[in-house]
Amino acid sequence: MLLLAHRGASADAPENTLEAFAEAARQGADGVELDAMVCGSGEVVVCHDERLERLARLPWEVRHTPWWKLQRADVGTSLGFAPARIPLLEDVLDALPPQLIVNIELKCDRFDDDGLSQKVADLVRRRGLAERVVVSSFNPLCLFRLLAVAPELRRGYLIDPDRRWGVHAYAVSPLVSSHSVHPYYEDCTPERVATWRAAGLRVATWTVDDAARARALEQMGVSYLITNRPGALREALRAAA
């Protein structure tokens, strides 16, 4: 089972920043999970929240704020860390060590994704990263668009636990996933994991920091575990082995 650092090593550095991704590499993570969205001037930025109240105590909406302005937002201090900045996706891809897997989540809950799927596909292709990248989303339309513009890229459907489980886990997921399915960890059972694996899909579950829970998921056959604490969880798993 591979450990992917959730928004980077977000327990020890401000989430979705270059600092968090560098910390994930330092802690020995197998890869990182990050959030991508289009900002007001068209660049793809790495940020989870649509608005910046939680991250920077600012009322700005990312999709309507230009990149030059977003660079002024401090997304570290409000989370209890040193000041940090929102990065561009291309800068994150350039900074990550070449051995790390990159799970790029497309953050868009609307019909129109402002070109997000196309832009991410173009970035991944230009950098020759198709073998390292898994693109996931809660929005099946984003994954359909990705299939249309870059069918070779690995796709994984994020299953929202608040939506109708059977529809999204067993009807939508096979239509949009080519590589993996991404359920919440409490929705993983041995039977469900076995069903997905029999369909040729890996299972990537989120977000787990507890070693006992992680061990149980590994025994079920989960392929990727998304965690805020990759270093500490790795040590705990080794100690329990």
Sign of the CA dihedral with 123 first, then 126, 130, and 133 last: negative
Residue 29 CA to chain centroid, in angstroms?
14
Cα(208)–Cα(102) distance, integer angstroms: 18
Listed in sequence order, the residues at least 6 apart from 184 whose beta carbon sits closer than 8 Å to its beta carbon are 159, 161, 205, 206
CATH superfamily for 2-39+91-240 is Phosphatidylinositol (PI) phosphodiesterase (3.20.20.190)
**What pTM does this model have?**
0.97
Listed in sequence order, the residues at least 6 apart from 182 whose beta carbon sits closer than 8 Å to its beta carbon are 136, 156, 157, 158, 159, 203, 204, 205, 206
SS (H, E, C) the chain: CEEEEECCCCCCCCCCCHHHHHHHHHCCCCEEEEEEEECCCCCEEECCCCECHHHHCCCCEHHHCCHHHHCCCCCCHHHCCCCCCCCEHHHHHHHCCCCCEEEEEECCCCCCCCCHHHHHHHHHHHCCCCCCEEEEECCHHHHHHHHHHCCCCEEEEEECCCCCHHHHHHHHHHHHCCCEEEEEHHHCCHHHHHHHHHCCCEEEEECCCCHHHHHHHHHHCCCEEEECCHHHHHHHHHHHC
CA distances from 167 to 111, 128, 159, 172, 179 (A): 19, 34, 10, 6, 19
Cα(157)–Cα(137) distance, integer angstroms: 6
DSSP bridge pairs for 2: 224
CB 211 within 8 A of CB 238: no
Q: Per-residue pLDDT for the chain (241 aa), expressed as one digit of tens each?
A: 999 999 999 999 999 999 999 999 999 999 999 999 999 999 999 999 999 999 999 999 999 999 999 999 999 999 999 999 999 999 999 999 999 999 999 999 999 999 999 999 999 999 999 999 999 999 999 999 999 999 999 999 999 998 888 888 888 899 999 999 999 999 999 999 999 999 999 999 999 999 999 999 999 999 999 999 999 999 999 887 7
Sign of the CA dihedral with 28 first, then 20, 153, and 221 last: positive
